[in-house]
Every structure is written in C-alpha cells, then in structure tokens.
Amino acid sequence: MIFGISGPNAAGKGEAVEFLRARSFYAVSLSDVIREVLEARGEAESREAMIEAGRALRAEHGEAVLAERIASRLAQDRNYVIDSIRHPAEVEALRTRTEHFRLIWVDADVETRFVRLRERGRSGDPTSLEEFERLEARELGSDDSAAQQLLAVRDLADFKVENNGALEDLKGSLQRILERSFFFERPGWDEYFMNIARMVSTRSNCVKRKVAAVITQDRRIISTGYNGTPRGVRNCNEGGCPRCNQFAEGGTRLEDCLCSHGEENAIIQAAYHGVQVKNGTIYTTFSPCLICTKMIINSGLAEVVYNSDYPLGELAIDLLREAGVKVRQFSLVEAEPVR
C-alpha cells in the first residue's frame, strides 16, 4: 500500500505520517528531493528556500519531477507513506508509476492550524494570523504552473480528514482509512517461478541471448540453470564462444557454439548434485530447442512452461507433445529479456 499525505500547513500531516510509520509504513517525502538540491548548492534550508527550489525544479524538469524521482526509489516489497505532495502533477505521477496509491488530505480550520504552528515554535514561522494566511495563499494556487497548487491537490484526494479535534480522533480516522484500503495479492505459481527464471537469466554470460530455466517439484525449486560456456571454460562475454562473439546469424554455425542452454544446465546441475527431476516441471524463459527438448524428455520431466517462443522451436514443441510432456506458454507482461 502507498499513501500520499497532503494538506495545508500545520493541519496534522506529520502526525498522519507518524501514525502510518508506526504501522510498518516506510516514510518518504517529496521534500527530500528539494533538500538534496539545496544541500548540493550549499544553501540553508528554510520554508521560503524550499518553496522556491521546488518551483524551480518543476519549471526546469517538469511538474511531476519530485514524484518521479521519489517513485523510482520505492521498493516493491514495502508499504510507503509519501509526504509533501503539493502539485496535482505529482499525484498523477504517483498514481501512474505506483500501484495502489491513495491520497489522504488532512485539513483543519485556519485558526486551529495557526495555534498549532505557534505551539511548535519553529524559527521562521509566521507570528501573526494575517502573515500566516498571506504566506499560505501562495501555496494554495498560482498562475505559475510550476508553483505549489494545494487546492488542486485537495480535489484529487481519495480521502479527506478534518483534524480540528484531539489527536486520537485523527488516529481513529486514519485507522478507518487503513482498514478500508487494505488489500492482499500475490503472484500465482506460474508467475512466481517464471519471474525467478527471468532473474536467473541475468546471470547468463552469453553475449547473444540470456536464457534461464527453473525446475520445480511440488512447487519447490530443485534446480536452476542459465546459458553460457561450460564450467572452467572462458566465459562467453570474455570471448569464450566464437559463434556468439561473432554474432552469427540465427540458426547458423550452431556446431561452433560453446554455450550450454539454460534448460540443459538446469538438468545437468540437478544430475551433478544428485537431485532427481523426474515428474518435475521446468519453467524456461524461451521454449526449448530440439537438443534441450530431448534432454527434457529423457530426464523424465513431466511439464514445460515457457515464456516466449524460441525462433526454431516448432519441431521441439511437437516432439514434447508426442512424448506426452505437457507444454504450456505463460507470458509475463514485462519486457522480454535481451537475447
């Protein structure tokens, strides 16, 4: 889950962030990007400097620049709360680039917020209600498209919380939002194993194709393999395979190729370590070639699940089916690995 927090000054956004942080959400802020810029320039951090630096960044790099930079840092295995969202383009970018993003707008009466601001006693804060309202007006909206546009952000909020009462009231509202927003999903077994095969392929040292296979039994990985030159031989990417390094045309000079295929290596690795693959399933990023197909059949594997079609794989697929091996294609949505 990813929650964005926005609202006017002293509305209680920090308390909302801390509430979620205490519930295992990782807290990040779009202002972190601005702070990094100020630090690189050797400039002191102040509210005025932050506002101007944020405006300049949006003007130079696009209105969504802060959100885009933060989104690129988010890990897929964590829940996040993102603070300091101050422009509608930032909301749209986070919705586009992150899954399950929800924006919470925290607000309170201006008089209540001014009292809170005075109580926290930060240097540089307005000392009168009039000054407070004057400074805030710049943040609510502007003809400058790169400036803060808080009112436009408010209009995009999924949840709006009025925080004029006690802290426990705010926490109660946030708890209800959290419970309403809860979801749980995880990949199916095919997606899970195929994604692992995709990751295994990144270990390939072949300069032409990166291919990998994962062998499973009872939904348990028992062997993996990726394509490359044999153990103890110079790696393909170090010049070990003349065919690949000369980028031979597909289907030609196969007798010169020194690289073992991903399926071949997965089966051989199992044999090397004394692991039986009979009746197992092999997940492979490409449908097997004819040589690997014969190894799959003779090793007793019961099923082949592949992501993409191998250019010369039609005969191999027919042979697998003739031998009684189940064959299925399961294509991942992500971009295909470089081959």
Closest listed residue to residue 30, CA positions, set 5, 10, 49: 5
Paired tokens of 153: 């952000």
Closest listed residue to residue 311, CA positions, set 329, 291, 287, 330: 287
Paired tokens of 179: 């419970």
| Alpha carbons 254 and 233: distance in angstroms, whole number | 18
Could you tell me which residues are beta bridge partners of residue 303?
281, 326
Q: Is 263 a catalytic residue?
A: yes
| Alpha carbons 121 and 12: distance in angstroms, whole number | 15
The stretches of the chain forming alpha helices (DSSP H) are 13-21, 31-41, 47-61, 65-71, 88-97, 110-120, 129-140, 150-154, 167-181, 189-201, 242-245, 262-272, 290-299, 314-322
> By the 8 A CB rule, do 235 and 207 touch?
no
| Alpha carbons 8 and 30: distance in angstroms, whole number | 15
Q: How many CB atoms lie within 10 A of CB 199?
A: 14
Residues written for the chain = 339
> By the 8 A CB rule, do 283 and 220 touch?
no
CA angle 185, 189, 195 (to 5 degrees): 90
> Of the residues 255, 263, 264, 314, which is catalytic?
263
| Alpha carbons 88 and 150: distance in angstroms, whole number | 8
Catalytic center residues: 263
